[in-house]
Structures are given as C-alpha cells and as structure tokens.
C-alpha cells in the first residue's frame, strides 16, 4: 500500500517547474498521456520509483497528483478525465526471447522492430448494455480480451443489446514487434510480440521503426476452445529508438587514426573482411565500399542515394553465399535473407487481411534493414510482387504502399549485397548477364557493381585454393587471423562512414570523362541511351573510398580507383563476347550490340522475303551464307527471333515475319 509520504513525494516531484511547462505544451498539442521518466523519479526518490513499477495498476494516485499540477496550469476541467500517467525509461528491458508467464500482468519494457501495423479500429472500453425486457441500462467496464456481458438483470431478464452509441470507444491498432535483427541469435527464427496501441498511441509508429515499448503483458484467449493463450502487450508508452551506433572510445579513435594513416590500409581492411575466403579481392573491395557507402543527397528537388548495391552472380560452389554471411557479421546492421523469403511481406512490403479480418501492413526485409545492409541470397528467386516493387526502394530509399485503405511510405535506405545463381545451372560466358540470371535488366542496372564468379578449372589457382582450404581446416579456422580484428574493423567502418567528403575539381573531371567515354561507346546506334546512373555510381564509389581513407575530400586517386573498379565489373558483364568490345548495351538491353545488329539484319531479310509467302529455312541460309554467316549460326539466330516473337513458323521449316501494324 502507498503511504502518505510517498504521495507527498510525488506531489513535490510534480511541483517542479519543468513538469508544469511540459503539461502546458501537452495541452497545446492535444496530448494526454503524461510520461514519468523512471530514472528522474528514482533520482528524486528511489522508494517511490521502485514502488511505481510493482504497483503500476495503481498509478491512479499519481494521476491525482498530476491533476493537481494540471489545475495549477489551468487545464480545461472537462479534459482532466482523459489524462493518464504512464512510466517510461524503465531500468530493465526484457528481451522478447525471455518473455514468459512471470511477466503476465506486470509492467514490462521491451525493445524491437515494428514489422507490421494494422489499420485503426474502434476498441470497446466501457459497454452500455440494455435489457431487452425492462430497458434498464447496465454499464460494464471491459478489462478482459473477451467482451463481458451483464449476468442477470434486476427483472430476471438475461438478454441484452449493446448500445454502441452510448458505450465508450477508443481508437485501437495492433502492431507486431520483432526481435532486432542484430540481437537475433544466428540461425534462429525471430520472436514476435503482439502489441495493442490505444488512443493517442495509435499511428505513432510505422513498420520498420525500432521501438522501446513499456506496457502490461496480458493474455489473449484462444480463438476457438483450448488452453493455449497468446501474449499481448497493452502499450503504455512508446519511444522510437535510433539505431544503436557503435561506440568509439578515445582509445579506439587513436587506433582508428593510426590504421587510417597506413599506406596499406585498404588492402589490410580487405584482408580482414573475409579471411577464410580465398582471393576475390575486387569483390571484397566492392563489399568494403558497400559497407561504407557514399554520401546521400536528400533535398526537395534532388534525391541521390548514397547506398551502394552489389550483385554477385555465379556458379554453385563458388564463394557467393559465404561472402554474404561474412558481410552480415561485419556490418553493424546486417540482415540476411533469401530472395524467396519466408514472410508474406517479401523484400518490400505487403498489405493483407489478418485472421480477424483487419488490414495489416507488413514490412519486408528492405524496410527492416533500413540504414543497414540487406544480404539477399538467391535474389533471382524473389516473388513477382517484389520484382515489380523493388526498383523504387533500390533507387529512392522508400517503399510506397497504397492498398486496402492503407497508405504509407516506409523507409528503406538499405544497401543490398545480393547473390544469384545462373538460370541454367552454370554461367554461360557466350550469353549475356540478363540471359544468365533470371532478373530483368531494369533491376540489374540498379546495381552499382556486378561480379561474375566462374568455377573454371585453373591448375595454379586451384593449387593455391586447395592449400588455403586445407590450411583453414588444419587450424580449425582459428589460424586465419584477420590483420584487423573484427571489433576494430566494425568501429573503423562506423567512424569512417560518418565523414562527408566533398568532390574535388580533379575528381569531378575524371568521373565526367568516364561518363562521356561510356556514352560515346554506347551512342553508336544504341537503342537505349546510357543514363546518368553510371556517373552516380562512380561518385558513390569514390566517396566511399575517400571515407575509407578518412579524408573529407574526394581526390583524383579516389575517382581513378572507383572508375577502375567499375571498368573491371563492366568488362566482366558487358564485354561483347563476339567482338571483344566493351558494350554497355548488354546490361541495358540484355543483348550485345553485335548480336542485336545481326538479329536486326536477319529480321530485315526474312521480313522482306516473306511478305507474300513464308520463306523456307534453306533460302534464309543461302542469303546469309552470302554475307559470310555460318549455317548453324543462322539457324540459332532464327531461333532467337522466334523466341523474341518477331518471327513465326506457319509450318515446320518455313518462316514468316510478324508484320508491323500499319
């Protein structure tokens, strides 16, 4: 029981000037939920503070003290009843994984990421029932999950109707809170908790928010008969948390600056990124740049992303998946997922009806990894919905949602490191990236860097690789010590990514030249002009490199290295296998320019010769033989045109062109 002294103590606490100031501000903002900071009360009176947590059900007397303070600031009397005193900033946060039956009925503080939010529905606080026999009213406060009916009327009647108009309702919303990705034990399915928000807490959080919630843990009875209950938290107070930054002490800073001054810095960091994976230095360099990122520009008229996206495509058995796993360990906010996710929300977001029929907005992996790194394995297996929706967040950093009455914009400022398998098992060097990977060109072109990992036999390389693998096994993986220990590497990356480097004149000129050169290569008869996207990639990568070297300006060397990396990546995916020329068409249209030229020439021949009658295959071959094409090549190209739907075969062995509509 509370003693008089405690109340006095509370009154004197609420007498402080800043409390009155806060109350005045809250009245102006139309808010009525007065949050009492536990640590502040504890400083004022430890006994009162601890009693408040255990006696949370009886915060009524605190409310009385509060009303006293309200009267002093001349709060309108009629609104006094709506005021509620709640506690926040409790000393202990319960991990969602540790929530159990001991918490039932107790005031508990939990943290997590909001994965879904429902639409807003009315919630019954106090029901007014009318006896259908004698019209007598029965007021029943609703405390439990199930609607509580009156027992028996004074007239012995047992049938009632609910007077909706005269009952007390409040806005309500249900959210799902999930364990923070970085707190999730490896390989575990994240735990979730249903949280109900009432009144002025409704619509204060959105999917993807990291929240610290104080509330009372209750039970939700089973939908059908049974004894298995669900936990539900009734929220009292919600606080949105910024992502936890890596703490950098003065001692750390000394080590960071020392490391940053070394000539071999970049190579050291690359060696430390994934010491158990042999080779692939350029891929590791790209990942290093991805982890740091470029400078994002977020102004009203210009929005340029700083996030760097990297795609690894390659044969099974190559190091793609390991690259993803090691990167998830190094990044402070890394979320590992698969293209075909286990949740309905997939990679972006979804709106659907839950079991109780209300619309629920569920955040996908890109939203949950906001301001972090999303590692997508087998991105080629993503759903059709994601295929259509992923372009926007990759470029704009948000997921717009407008479905089932829910309109929202969720943040997804996420860097993507994705892995994809070749469509036909092995990477075919004679066809294009777009043909090799089951991803549309529009998504491919949003990756700043694409790398192909081929499992080609090479005697010398294989010998080194075998020794490397054996070495790891002999030493149980412990022998491969990274030159920069992982905790320091994380701190280094966190520190470096805060730098805002400015482009120097020389760097700009170099990047511009690269852009102009690329445009010139593509300009020759290309159907699709090259966009400014490649220039932006160049800027991002050079900014990332400047950050790695702890510089606040992007030098010519940064730009040169960034362009070199892009050239290397483009030559892996954009090289025209038939002419050996650099061909950006391949990424943009999915076909090398020389192939496009040949297909076009062949189509013109068939079109000209098949106006009246279908042209026999032998005739086409003799026409192309005259131009120096081989027979099998012609037949293969005819197949491509058939597949593309510009030719058809009215009967075997003859072709006709689909005539353009006049």
Where do contacts with Zn ion occur on this chain (CB under 5 A)? 131, 133-134, 136, 153, 155, 157
CB 153 to Zn ion: min, Å: 3
Residues 334 and 273: their CA atoms lie apart, in Å, by 14
* Identity of the residue, 123 or 129, whose beta carbon is nearer to Zn ion in the bound complex: 129
CB 132 to Zn ion: min, Å: 8
* Identity of the residue, 137 or 618, whose beta carbon is nearer to Zn ion in the bound complex: 137
CB 134 to Zn ion: min, Å: 3
* 3-class SS of residue 122: strand
Burial class (CB in 10 A: 0-12, 13-18, 19+), 486: middle
* Identity of the residue, 83 or 160, whose beta carbon is nearer to Zn ion in the bound complex: 160
Residues 184 and 211: their CA atoms lie apart, in Å, by 16
Decide: 135 and 91 in contact? Cβ < 8 Å. no
CB 157 to Zn ion: min, Å: 4
DSSP 75: -
Residues 57 and 106: their CA atoms lie apart, in Å, by 9
Residues 120 and 495: their CA atoms lie apart, in Å, by 41
* Identity of the residue, 135 or 462, whose beta carbon is nearer to Zn ion in the bound complex: 135
Count Cβ atoms below 10 Å from residue 457 Cβ, excluding itself: 6
Decide: 608 and 619 in contact? Cβ < 8 Å. no
CB 149 to Zn ion: min, Å: 13
Residues 50 and 38: their CA atoms lie apart, in Å, by 9
CB 128 to Zn ion: min, Å: 14
CB 139 to Zn ion: min, Å: 14
Residue 347 backbone phi and psi in degrees, to 5: -90, -20
CB 144 to Zn ion: min, Å: 23
Q: Could you please report the per-residue DSSP string of 318-376?
A: SSHHHHHHHHHHHSTTEEEEESS-SSTTTTSEEEEE-TTS-EEEEE-HHHHTTTSEEEE
* Identity of the residue, 153 or 277, whose beta carbon is nearer to Zn ion in the bound complex: 153
* Identity of the residue, 166 or 303, whose beta carbon is nearer to Zn ion in the bound complex: 166
CB 131 to Zn ion: min, Å: 3
CB 367 to Zn ion: min, Å: 53
DSSP 246: P
Residue 339's contacts (CB-CB under 8 Å, 6 or more residues apart) are 347, 376, 377, 378, 379, 380, 381, 382, 386, 418, 420
* Identity of the residue, 157 or 396, whose beta carbon is nearer to Zn ion in the bound complex: 157
Q: With CA atoms as reference, report the closest residue to 347 among 363, 361, 359.
A: 363
Q: Point out which residues pair with 122 in neighbouring strands.
A: 171
Structure tokens at 72: 């002093």
């Amino acid at each position: 029981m509370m003693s008089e002294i405690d109340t006095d103590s509370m009154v004197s606490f609420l007498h402080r000037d800043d409390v009155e100031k806060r109350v005045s501000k809250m009245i102006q903002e139309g808010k009525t939920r007065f949050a009492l900071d536990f640590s502040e009360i504890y400083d004022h009176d430890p006994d009162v503070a601890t009693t408040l947590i255990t006696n949370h059900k009886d915060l009524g007397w605190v409310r009385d003290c509060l009303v006293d303070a309200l009267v002093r600031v001349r709060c309108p009397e009629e609104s006094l009843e709506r005021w509620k005193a709640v506690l926040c900033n409790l000393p202990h946060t319960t991990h969602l994984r540790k929530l159990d039956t001991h918490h039932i009925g107790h005031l508990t503080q939990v943290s997590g990421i909001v994965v879904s939010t429902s639409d807003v529905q009315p919630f019954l606080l106090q029901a007014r029932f009318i006896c259908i026999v004698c019209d007598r009213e029965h007021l029943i406060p609703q405390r439990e999950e199930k609607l509580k009916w009156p027992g028996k009327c004074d007239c012995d009647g047992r049938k009632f109707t609910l007077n909706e108009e005269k009952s007390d309702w409040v806005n309500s919303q249900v959210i799902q809170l999930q364990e923070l990705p970085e707190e999730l034990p490896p390989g575990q399915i994240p735990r979730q908790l249903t949280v109900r928000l009432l009144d002025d807490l409704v619509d204060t959080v959105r999917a993807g928010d990291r929240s610290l919630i104080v509330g009372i843990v209750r039970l939700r009875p089973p939908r059908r008969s049974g004894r298995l209950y669900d936990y539900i938290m009734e929220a009292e107070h919600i606080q949105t948390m910024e992502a936890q930054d890596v703490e950098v002490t003065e001692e750390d800073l000394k080590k960071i600056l020392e490391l940053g001054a070394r000539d071999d810095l970049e190579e050291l960091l690359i060696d430390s990124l994934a010491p158990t994976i042999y080779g692939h230095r350029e891929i590791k360099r790209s990942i290093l740049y991805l982890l740091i990122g470029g400078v994002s520009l977020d102004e009203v008229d210009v929005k340029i992303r700083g996030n760097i996206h990297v795609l690894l495509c390659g044969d099974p058995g190559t190091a793609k998946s390991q690259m993803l796993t090691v990167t998830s360990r190094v990044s402070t906010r890394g979320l590992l997922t698969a293209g075909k996710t286990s949740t309905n929300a997939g990679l972006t977001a979804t709106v659907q009806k839950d079991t109780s029929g209300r619309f629920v907005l569920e955040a996908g992996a890109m939203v949950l990894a906001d301001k972090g790194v999303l590692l997508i394995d087998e991105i080629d297996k993503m759903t059709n919905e994601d295929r259509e929706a992923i372009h926007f967040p990759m470029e704009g950093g948000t997921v717009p949602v407008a479905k089932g009455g829910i309109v929202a914009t969720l943040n997804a400022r996420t860097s993507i490191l994705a892995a994809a398998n070749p469509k036909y098992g092995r990477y075919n060097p004679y066809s294009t990236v777009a043909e090799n990977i089951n991803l549309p060109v529009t998504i491919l072109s949003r990756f700043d860097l694409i790398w192909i990992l081929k499992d080609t036999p090479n005697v010398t390389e294989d010998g080194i690789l075998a020794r490397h693998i054996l070495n790891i096994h002999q030493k149980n993986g412990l022998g491969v010590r990274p030159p920069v220990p992982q905790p320091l590497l994380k701190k280094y990356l966190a520190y470096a990514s805060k730098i805002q480097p400015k482009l120097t004149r020389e760097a700009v000129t170099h990047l511009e030249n690269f852009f102009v050169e690329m445009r010139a290569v593509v300009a020759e008869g290309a159907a699709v002009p090259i966009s400014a996207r490649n220039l932006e990639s160049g800027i991002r990568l050079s900014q990332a490199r400047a950050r790695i070297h702890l510089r606040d300006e992007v030098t010519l060397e940064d730009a040169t290295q960034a362009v070199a990396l892009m050239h290397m990546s483009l030559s892996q995916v954009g090289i025209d296998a038939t002419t050996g020329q650099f061909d950006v068409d391949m990424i943009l249209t999915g076909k090398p320019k020389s192939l496009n030229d040949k297909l076009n020439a062949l189509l013109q021949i068939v079109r000209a010769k098949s106006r009246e009658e279908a042209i026999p295959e032998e005739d086409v071959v003799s026409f192309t033989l005259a131009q120096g094409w081989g027979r099998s090549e012609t037949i293969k190209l005819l197949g491509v045109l058939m597949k593309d739907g510009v030719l058809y075969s009215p009967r075997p062995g003859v072709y006709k062109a689909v005539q353009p509509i006049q």
